[in-house]
Structure 1
Amino acid sequence: MGLDDITKKAQEFLSDDKVQEALKSEQAEDISDKVLDGVADTVNKVTGGKFGEQVEGARAAADKAVGTE
């Protein structure tokens, strides 16, 4: 199984109505906020905050894709 196969399977999974409904739930919002905050904090620590604006932009874009806000 190559990267293209994995990407196709992931796209199929994410296009399912039940998966989309779950991703737009309050619970998904709470979990995603914690994960995204942790990832952003880690990246900022590793890079010494050099890319803070880019990290925040990426975090905000990812946050819009998951949850209710």
Structure 2
Amino acid sequence: MNDFMDKAKQFLGKHDDKVDKAADKAGEQADQRTGEKYSDQIDKGVDYAQRHTGQSDTQQR
């Protein structure tokens, strides 16, 4: 399991910009599907995920 986690962390670090964009899109989809009822919570979750995707975060919200 540790090998998988190490590889996942390496992938996230190398593709930080793509992961950040995917998190944005996922947040937008979740927001739409919930009728924007949980926008604040979704935004916080996306922000948290983006801060923890790699050593150099590429997007600030």
TM-score interval, normalised by the smaller of the two chains: 0.7 to 0.9
Provide the residue aligned with 2:50 in structure 1.
63
Note the C-alpha offset of 1:24. 2.3
Q: Percent identity?
A: 25
**Structure with higher helix content:** 1
Higher relative contact order (CA 8 A, sep 6+): 2
Q: TM-score, normalised by structure 1?
A: 0.66
* SS of 1:33 mapped into structure 2: helix
Structure with greater Cα Rg: 1
Summarize deviations over 1:27-51 as a string: whole Å, max 9, x none: x121112211110010000001010
Pair 1:29 & 2:16 matched = yes
Structure 2 residue runs of 5 or longer lacking an equivalent are none
Q: Give the direction of change, closer, same or farther, for the CA distance of 1:19–1:42 in structure 2 (3 Å limit).
A: closer
Any runs of at least 4 consecutive aligned residues in structure 1 with deviations exceeding 2 A, and if so which?
18-25
Note the C-alpha offset of 1:22. 3.9
Count of residue pairs the alignment pairs up: 55
